[in-house]
Structure 1
């Protein structure tokens, strides 16, 4: 083998390994100041109520080259924010969220479907009050790029799905108070 051939082989291997390094999955940690799960439901036909949780942790692992991702989120159910402290306490009771027994809810993805290089839907397991059900979140917006202030790689997304609260043993007053609950998750995450 000539010196030129050896150099060409070495260059090919270095390009291969460089490509593999670039394709490595990247881990993003949720920004707790910009990641808020919200939920809404029909209140006796009079209005749609919108509530949120103030404390959420988790991570997103994104492999842009392979078009694969994994999402793990934990919601502090005691951080419910209804806008009215007495109702915060009421909704944490055993008939609804039962936060004394189940202080957290979790979502763990099982599959992320990509379209045009971006996540379009996220399938996974949602656990509330110790009950796990499969759900599919529709991704309504997605961003991946440099964070404008932190200058680190970041992602942002909004995703939504509808669940039945009665399936999670939280169906008190249904159907007068709507059983269908729309989950709307706003998420921002930054590289470690």
Structure 2
């Protein structure tokens, strides 16, 4: 085999290895939590979560790119206070009857070494879409002894202005800025 042929073969093999790094992970709902925090009339912080979510993440540590799609069931909102949950599901806030889910689709992954440091994409809620960037406070992959597969995940956060999605009830007493905290683990498929 000639030297140019060997170089071409080596480049082809290296390209194949880089593509082989891309993997798809299914969100583990028992280790994934979407929570929010809102200041209540400048006095205390109200916290809540969405109990049902699903999705998948595909990323390639070698190529430093990825894609994520996460769907959140709005009707699964829980603050621990039933009347507040009912109000949050109403037209004043999430309008769960007409908009039963929110969806985050990300296609901008930033890495620090082989760890995801930031994910950018679009959050669609109440029929409106706006850009959102989630910063990773923590990220890791490990071989799960129970699943016998790799699991990747981390702690992500951002602050959004709820008025971007038309949720303006209670402003300014209930602030526009809402802190989102997402703890996610996903299992390699």
TM-score by length of 2: 0.90
Equivalent in 118, 142, 150 of residue 121 of structure 1: 118
| Residue 182 of structure 2 corresponds to residue 191 of structure 1 | no
CA distance in 1, matches of 2:81, 2:66: 37
| Residue 16 of structure 2 corresponds to residue 20 of structure 1 | yes
The count of corresponding residues between Structure 1 and Structure 2 is 187
CA-based RMSD of the aligned residues comes to 2.1
Moved over 2 A (4+): 12-19, 21-24
In structure 1, runs of 5+ residues without a counterpart are none
State the SS of the aligned residue for 2:87: helix
State the SS of the aligned residue for 2:29: coil
State the SS of the aligned residue for 1:33: helix
State the SS of the aligned residue for 2:26: strand
> CA contact under 8 A between 1:29 and 1:191: conserved in structure 2?
yes
**Greater Rg by CA:** 1
Corresponding position of 1:84: 81
Corresponding position of 1:105: 102
Residues 37-186 of structure 1: matches in 2 within 5 Å? 37-186=34-183
> CA contact under 8 A between 2:38 and 2:177: conserved in structure 1?
yes
CA distance in 1, matches of 2:132, 2:10: 42
State the SS of the aligned residue for 1:102: coil
CA distance in 2, matches of 1:172, 1:18: 55
TM-score by length of 1: 0.89
